[in-house]
Structure 1
Amino acid sequence: MTPDSATITKIIDVSNRYAAGIDRRDWAMYGECFTDPCEFDFSSFSGRPASSLSREAWVENVKKTNGSFDATQHQMSNQMITMLDDHRATCITELRAQHWFAPDTMARLGHADSVNFCELGGHYTNDLVLDAGTWRIAVCRLTVRWQTGSMAIFDLARAIGAGTLSKD
């Protein structure tokens, strides 16, 4: 089944709102991208198995980690959409995700000489459903193909998000 141009635009918009929601710290926008609950498989990044979470719980997890960086930039491109039926689609989206702490933040965290960024490349394979006229991600799978910088900055971001470390 070939999607029409309006459907393609709406599904690509989900990818754009996903990225913009994280990078602009607009957690309501980000949350609206998902069904409730939603399945998440980030095992290629985290090593943890896939799990189903409420929309609220997922957004809070992402907010605590990604929201703790001084800046992030998620670039989504090359969306390939396969329609399963009128209400279900799969979208594979290429990803380049940058996570960054300012040098002065790293110094305040006691890591002045550490690498202050991590960049990931890969793709999302998202299963979407048409939910009350809005396309939403029901299953979100991340496949990381490459990484540069330091994965250790995610530990710092998680500690900041958990309140066990302060950027001040």
Structure 2
Amino acid sequence: MNTDPRIDVAETVYRFAYGIDQRDWDAYRAIFVQPPIEIEFDYSSYHGRPATRMSVDAWIAGITPLFTALDATQHSMTNPLVEIEGDAARCRVYMQATHFLWRHDLEAMTGSTEPEFTIGGHYDDHLVRVDGRWRIDRVALSVRWRRGNPAIMDLAGGART
């Protein structure tokens, strides 16, 4: 633990990106509040569906097939703005999430030879201090821009051949 709790909050948020990119689901799971508490995930700016609440295990079970099917990802988070009030914190970070899928049939399957899809924007996360450690209990993504071939995400999310 650092002497400045804002660093601990920011590091917890950075571990969100690290866990996904390394496909280290145990490390990823450890940054969230644990069951029976549910986490609110708001990715409405990405896919248009409303925010949802679920257990961290359900969330990880839902995203694992997609990220396992992608060949590589790099999630970058910068410029954390952290506000702490007691045992609660808010952290906003700029983000870029780059996803790659290399396939011989990419053009036939997606209409493009582009193997990359990147989004940029920011995350607004809410964290709580539990047993002296910061844990995420709410994630909200605000997508500001997109670049590349978004169809690779649908292709990776389906059966991979």
Give the TM-score of the pair, scaled to structure 1. 0.86
Aligned pairs for 1:107-118 (under 5 A) are 107=105, 110-111=108-109, 113-118=112-117
What corresponds to 1:24 in structure 2? 22
Measure, in 1, the Cα distance between the counterparts of 2:75 and 2:109.
24
Superposed CA deviations along residues 117-149 of structure 1, whole A, max 9, x for unmatched, are: 100000000011001221111110000000000
8 Å Cα contact 1:109-1:166 kept in structure 2: no
What corresponds to 1:70 in structure 2? 71
Task: From the superposition, tell whether residues 108 and 91 of structure 1 become closer, same or farther in structure 2 (CA, over 3 Å).
Answer: closer
Superposed CA deviations along residues 83-140 of structure 1, whole A, max 9, x for unmatched, are: 1x220010001101000012xx243795385321100000000011001221111110
SS of aligned partner of 2:9: helix
Measure, in 2, the Cα distance between the counterparts of 1:54 and 1:34.
9
Aligned pairs for 1:137-148 (under 5 A) are 137-148=136-147
SS of aligned partner of 1:34: coil
For these two proteins, the number of residue pairs brought into alignment is: 156
Give how far 1:67 is off: 2.2
8 Å Cα contact 1:127-1:138 kept in structure 2: yes
Unpaired segments ≥5 residues, structure 1: 160-164
Measure, in 1, the Cα distance between the counterparts of 2:160 and 2:104.
11
8 Å Cα contact 2:106-2:115 kept in structure 1: no
Measure, in 2, the Cα distance between the counterparts of 1:109 and 1:145.
26
RMSD over aligned Cα atoms: 1.8
Q: Name the amino acid aligned to 2:20.
A: I
2:13 to 15, 37, 45: 15
Give the TM-score of the pair, scaled to structure 2. 0.90
Measure, in 2, the Cα distance between the counterparts of 1:63 and 1:132.
28
